[in-house]
Amino acid sequence: GAVVSQHPSRVICKSGTSVKIECRSLDFQATTMFWYRQFPKKSLMLMATSNEGSKATYEQGVEKDKFLINHASLTLSTLTVTSAHPEDSSFYICSAQSGGRNTGELFFGEGSRLTVL
Amino acid sequence: GDSVTQMEGPVTLSEEAFLTINCTYTATGYPSLFWYVQYPGEGLQLLLKATKADDKGSNKGFEATYRKETTSFHLEKGSVQVSDSAVYFCALKGGRGGSNYKLTFGKGTLLTVNP
């Protein structure tokens, strides 16, 4: 089946630095990718929808200047957490949609655990 | 807006026990319903889905029936195995309160199956 890969799987950084997380669709082209944040014992919270070649659409309450999303190609989207702080520590998960916008199946990456010291 | 409520875990069972994880939803319109599974160290995988009322999704011995009258999509398995230990997420897509392509997730239920 389709595979979505995230990198890095774990990252530890100092407060104030920026961290980039990559999400790649390995065997299909994804015009749409989604970024989620998962808190302990909480559901996945959709942060933004990433569309290839255009600006990401952010969910209410998500700071677009803090969480920079770039979808430069049909197989790669990146999430950059800028000036990270301890409260940004979380599990970030991406998903990519194959096929049509309303019917395509979503495939999820393995997640990236960010720890900000 | 759309929302999904699933039973809080963790759930601990012995091998071959019967499993039920409750899931109810709130949505306008006619959403599609999903169960996703997240095995340790892996990403979410689609387990099963149902796209209209009274549909039954099934996969790997798991079943769930889309019940519009009770707005439920409970996950069941007759005999669980140790390898079923994972986190299970109920989700919906396509209710009028959301959008056609965004998934709304429940909080997840951790299942541990002991030998």
Asked if B102 and A43 come within 8 Å (Cβ–Cβ), the reply is no
Cα(B4)–Cα(B23) distance, integer angstroms: 7
Predicted confidence (pLDDT) per residue in A26-37, tens digit: 988 888 899 999
Number of CB atoms found within 10 A of residue B71's CB = 16
Judge whether residue A104 has pLDDT over 90: no
Per CB distance under 8 Å, which residues of B are interface residues toward A?
A: 4, 36, 41-46, 89, 94, 100-103, 105-108
Confidence band for B113, pLDDT divided at 50, 70 and 90: very high
Asked if B89 and A44 come within 8 Å (Cβ–Cβ), the reply is yes
- Chain A / chain B CB contacts < 8 angstroms: 44
Confidence band for B96, pLDDT divided at 50, 70 and 90: low
Tokens of B78: 């007759």
Pick the residue from chain B with its C-alpha nearest to A57: B102
Mutate to test the interface with B, among A34, A38, A44 (most CBs of B within 10 A): A44
Q: What is the dihedral of CA A61, A62, A63, A65, to 10 degrees?
A: -150
Confidence band for A100, pLDDT divided at 50, 70 and 90: low
Asked if A4 and B43 come within 8 Å (Cβ–Cβ), the reply is yes
Tokens of B3: 């929302």
Predicted confidence (pLDDT) per residue in B47-86, tens digit: 999 999 999 999 999 999 999 999 999 999 999 999 999 9
Pick the residue from chain B with its C-alpha nearest to A1: B45
Cα(A11)–Cα(A4) distance, integer angstroms: 19
* CB-based contacts of A32, cutoff 8 Å, min separation 6: A49, A50, A51, A52, A96, A97, A101, B101
Judge whether residue A42 has pLDDT over 90: no
Mean pLDDT of A8-36: 93
Confidence band for A88, pLDDT divided at 50, 70 and 90: very high
Per-residue model confidence (pLDDT) at position B28: 80
Asked if B36 and A46 come within 8 Å (Cβ–Cβ), the reply is no
Cα(A36)–Cα(A58) distance, integer angstroms: 11
The SS3 assignment for A87 reads helix
Predicted confidence (pLDDT) per residue in B1-22, tens digit: 788 999 888 999 999 999 999 9
CA B19 to chain centre: 12
